[in-house]
Structure 1
Amino acid sequence: MIAIKKEGILLEKTNFTFENEGVLNPAVIRVGEEVHIFYRAVRQGNHSTIGYCKLKDPLTVSERADTPLLFPQFDYESKGLEDPRIVKIDDLYYLTYTAYDGTTASGALATSSDLVHFEKKGLIVSQIKYNDFINLAECREELNEKYERYNSLNTILWSKDLVFFPRKINNKFHFLHRVKPDIQIVAVNDLAELTTEFWQNYFLHFDDYIVLAPKYDHEVSYVGGGCPPIETKSGWLLIYHGVHDTVNGYVYVGCAALLDLENPLKEIARLPYALITPESEWELKGDVSNVCFPTGTAVFGDTLYIYYGAGDDVIASASVSLSALLTELLSHKTA
């Protein structure tokens, strides 16, 4: 098994009103020797905004904002901005997040050229009702019964964990999203293509776009997108989250897989065990207990730093040898 080092808690809640309930699930991007972190900040009443801090190295905070960077401005995000991720494609930063309006949670996008000023682009996932989705998605064959178990029949389909690949592949934007219980992928030449008609056709062929489905015991309940994929010579390294049910509730763990560089629908390898599991007090007990929820990474030399929400309460980090992780993954190639 691969050796991973828990680096401990990086950020905790403060007395500032916007983050007095907890901080978690950060978007992370390295620029030069600094690391920029955009995190979910929760105030009492479970209202989320996106806070900001900067690290001078992988583990040392040098700057932290005392007000949220992004906050609700539109109806589709009126009850919160949650779980951001960030990548840079060409000269533009793409920050995705889950917009929650009190009923529906959907993937949204904001862009920036300087990591200071962000322009919200709105929701970029479908707003189809679940019943309409299932009528389209089951035109060829029935879906896994878990789709009905995890999705409400009479509301808009929840599509969360929106994560862009950090470059275009074959001149197309690629992003992951998650309709429980699997991780799906979208590829378009231009984001303007994401129309109602696009999504209707996409759902007609929905089973063709499932990238990862639950496979092992530690992810048997469902899987979801985690950190933006990391390009390596061996493939796209994907750190994602897996969930399994226990008598004490769900347990969230960090997982790892490799996807093909030119066709990320193709799974090359997957760890048969969890990479990050709840062990420490701040992971085992929190607003939601038994949670390690990875959402961002930074690579320094051969060290991969993984940043994750722990217990839905604090932000922690772990580190692992990138080369060792790739070697371990390639010893578990997908048949």
Structure 2
Amino acid sequence: MTATFPLGPFTPSPANPILRPRGEGWESGNLYNPAAIVVDDRVALLYRAHAEDRVSRIGLAWSDDGVRFDREDDPVLFPEHDYERAGCEDPRVTRVGDTFYLTYTGFDGARAQLCLATSPDLRGWAKHGPLFPGFNTWRTLPYGPGGPTWSKAGVIHPEPLGGRYWMWFGEGTIHAATSPDLLHWTPVADDEHPMHTPTPGAWDSTLVEIGAPPVRTGDGLLVFLTNGATASSPTEVDYRCGQIAVSVDDPATVVARTPEPWLTPTSYEDTHGMIANVTFVEGLVWFRERWLAYYGQSDTTLAVAICDHGPGKTVSGQ
């Protein structure tokens, strides 16, 4: 069986949360919002964590079954430059050849900027800086961060489409960008012309945000897990997870959207934490004959939802 739109259904694992804050150091306060990738028949998670100072770093954990993880002691990505002095946040990861491409949010305390780093081994990262200075993915909405620059959340497809590599990015609204070399990226349209926007009156009426890198289906679609929210204030929110699809022949146009979320805040950890009522997905892998979707719970703990297609079936894309 090939992947179809939408993916699923997904069921939260009874083992959740699969990772929690620990110790008194850099991951002692909150641990959430992971990227995921399969390497040498193991699942690797690159997760966001911080202490009480809320300055985020990115840690690395490994699993043989996709549920039970062993963490490395030290963060693999941490603030070094002025544009990320208040945190390295919310990673997504893609492998092309022998190189891992990590997008993350560099936060300076006032501005969020989508940044890129590359690595041969998930541990040592070369940083390439902010990708879209002067681009604000909230530009078309009547609320959200002001100023000329704000961008988050980038996912990269590992194969070129029409001779170019593609990235989809954005918080508030979602945009597309292309690259000849995976390092230098140009938005397909300016920040006043997003490809996907919130849906009035729906579960994603306040904002949409790209979630995990896309999965290619047998009928020529790329399927994305996404995040959407309704909010009455910056701390009174309801984040849920949905899906969108684009055609490989027109990657900057959304051709399908799930009218209802596939994951909603239900457990105690989903509804209690630093920011309550949040399920926020950033990682998706096909591993041991099932889909594993990794998400943050209320910006405090980390969980997995599982879609088991059963024995003997195969899925294209991951």
Q: TM-score range by the shorter chain?
A: 0.7 to 0.9
Distance in 2 between residues matched to 1:299 and 1:67, nearest whole Å? 27
Distance in 1 between residues matched to 2:298 and 2:39, nearest whole Å? 28
Q: CA deviation at 1:166?
A: 2.4
* Match 2:203 to one of 215, 218, 234: 218
Q: Tell me, what secondary structure is at the counterpart of 2:250?
A: coil
What TM-score, normalized to structure 2?
Answer: 0.87
Q: CA deviation at 1:305?
A: 0.8
Contact 1:254/1:293 (CA < 8 Å) preserved in 2?
Answer: yes
1:11 aligned partner, one-letter code: L
The count of residues paired between Structure 1 and Structure 2 equals 299
Q: Tell me, what secondary structure is at the counterpart of 1:150?
A: coil
* Match 1:163 to one of 145, 151, 155: 155
2:242 aligned partner, one-letter code: C
Q: Tell me, what secondary structure is at the counterpart of 1:282?
A: helix
Q: CA deviation at 1:261?
A: 1.9
Q: CA deviation at 1:157?
A: 1.7
CA RMSD of aligned residues (A): 2.4
The 5 A counterparts of 1:174-323 are 174-180=166-172, 182-190=173-181, 193-194=184-185, 202-203=189-190, 206-207=192-193, 210-215=194-199, 217-234=202-219, 235-245=221-231, 249-300=236-287, 302-321=289-308
Distance in 2 between residues matched to 1:173 and 1:113, nearest whole Å? 19
Q: CA deviation at 1:295?
A: 0.2
Per residue, is there more helix in 1 or in 2?
A: 1
Identity %: 27
Contact 2:270/2:278 (CA < 8 Å) preserved in 1?
Answer: yes
2:224 aligned partner, one-letter code: L
2:156 aligned partner, one-letter code: F
Q: Tell me, what secondary structure is at the counterpart of 1:219?
A: coil
Deviations 1:4-38 (A, max 9, x none): 31112110000141011110000110123200111
Gaps of 5+ in 1: 135-142, 324-335
| More divergent stretch after superposition (244-253 vs 277-286) | 244-253
Deviations 1:275-297 (A, max 9, x none): 10000000001000000000001
1:330 alignment partner in structure 2: none
1:333 alignment partner in structure 2: none
Distance in 1 between residues matched to 2:288 and 2:161, nearest whole Å? 25
1:160 aligned partner, one-letter code: K
Contact 2:131/2:184 (CA < 8 Å) preserved in 1?
Answer: no
| More divergent stretch after superposition (273-282 vs 263-272) | 263-272
Q: CA deviation at 1:232?
A: 2.1
Q: CA deviation at 1:92?
A: 1.4
Distance in 1 between residues matched to 2:22 and 2:179, nearest whole Å? 41
Distance in 2 between residues matched to 1:35 and 1:301, nearest whole Å? 10
What TM-score, normalized to structure 1?
Answer: 0.82
* Match 1:150 to one of 144, 155, 164: 144
Deviations 1:274-327 (A, max 9, x none): 11000000000100000000000111255211000001000001012469xxxx
The 5 A counterparts of 1:5-16 are 5-7=11-13, 8-16=16-24
Deviations 1:207-265 (A, max 9, x none): 2xx22222361101110011111122131110010101369821000111221123222
Distance in 2 between residues matched to 1:21 and 1:30, nearest whole Å? 27
